[in-house]
């Protein structure tokens, strides 16, 4: 079960609290923080959230709060930027599933930009993730190459990209490689369109459409 981090206070009108990840099963792993938000009812299906750079920021906390308002129990771990993150992702999945606020035997997962790439790379081994939503990124592929099937998740995967994103063709190749993958392109949007703090990239119309699609996908898949 998630332990509250420090005072565990809910600040700035947030629905959740900062918590500490339990990394005891990972020898040599450092301590790590996360953010945990639950619905007003106290219970909901679980959703793992990976922030844009992997490191937990206000955007990741905002996403967890929005998921909680939609009836989900959400957990966003703080991942090392550019470093090994697998132990923390494993710990976050286990902790979310073990938490008394989480319903069901499997969880969904949302990843944004770099967080989406890390999620796709790790998901082939994370058997208790039931579905994935990736915002604005596809698995990195060599030009004209198809990804190896064993390196990709076998669960339903929704890719949400702006049609001006430079990785659209990579996303199309990923979609062709998976039977349970659907690519949805948002007109006029580029990379980073979901984050309102990125004024140069945020697209409110595309973000609203993508969020609705993500919630519908989670509801149908979990």
Comparing 25-34, 74-83, 106-115, 155-164, which segment has the lowest mean pLDDT?
Answer: 25-34
User: By three-state DSSP, how is residue 86 classified?
Assistant: helix
Q: Is 38 exposed, middle or buried (0-12, 13-18, 19+ CB in 10 A)?
A: buried
Please, which pLDDT band fits residue 12 given cuts at 50, 70 and 90?
Answer: low
Domains and CATH numbers, the chain: 15-221 (3.40.50.1820)
Distance in angstroms (rounded) separating the CA atoms of residues 164 and 192: 11
Report pTM: 0.88
End-to-end CA distance of the chain: 21
Q: What is the pLDDT of residues 162-193, one digit of tens each?
A: 999 999 988 898 888 888 899 999 999 999 99
Contact between residue 187 and residue 209 where contact means Cβ atoms under 8 Å apart: no
| CB-side neighbour CA atoms (13 Å) of 69 | 10
What is the chain's mean pLDDT, rounded? 85
Q: What is the pLDDT of residues 57-104, one digit of tens each?
A: 999 999 999 999 999 999 999 998 766 788 889 899 999 999 999 999
Cα separations (Å) of 126 from 92, 94, 116, 131? 11, 10, 14, 11
| Residue 108: other Cβ atoms inside 10 A | 26
């Amino acid at each position: 079960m998630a332990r509250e981090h420090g005072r565990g206070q809910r600040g700035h009108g947030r629905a959740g609290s900062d918590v500490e990840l339990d990394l005891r099963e990972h020898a040599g792993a450092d301590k790590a923080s996360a953010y945990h938000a639950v619905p007003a009812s106290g219970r909901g299906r679980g959703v793992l959230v990976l922030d844009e750079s992997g490191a937990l920021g206000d955007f990741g906390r905002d996403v967890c709060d929005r998921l909680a308002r939609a009836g989900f129990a959400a957990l966003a771990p703080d991942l090392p930027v550019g470093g090994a993150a697998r132990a923390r992702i494993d710990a976050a999945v286990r902790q979310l599933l073990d938490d008394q606020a989480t319903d069901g035997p499997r969880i969904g997962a949302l990843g944004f930009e770099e967080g989406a790439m890390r999620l796709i790379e790790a998901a082939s081994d994370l058997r208790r993730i039931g579905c994935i939503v990736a915002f604005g990124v596809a698995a990195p592929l060599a030009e004209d190459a198809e990804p190896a099937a064993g390196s990709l998740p076998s669960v339903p995967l929704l890719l949400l990209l702006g049609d001006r994103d430079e990785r659209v063709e990579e996303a199309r190749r990923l979609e062709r490689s998976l039977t349970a993958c659907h690519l949805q392109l948002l007109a006029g949007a580029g990379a980073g369109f979901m984050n309102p703090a990125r004024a140069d990239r945020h697209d409110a119309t595309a973000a609203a459409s993508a969020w609705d699609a993500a919630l519908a996908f989670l509801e149908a898949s979990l």
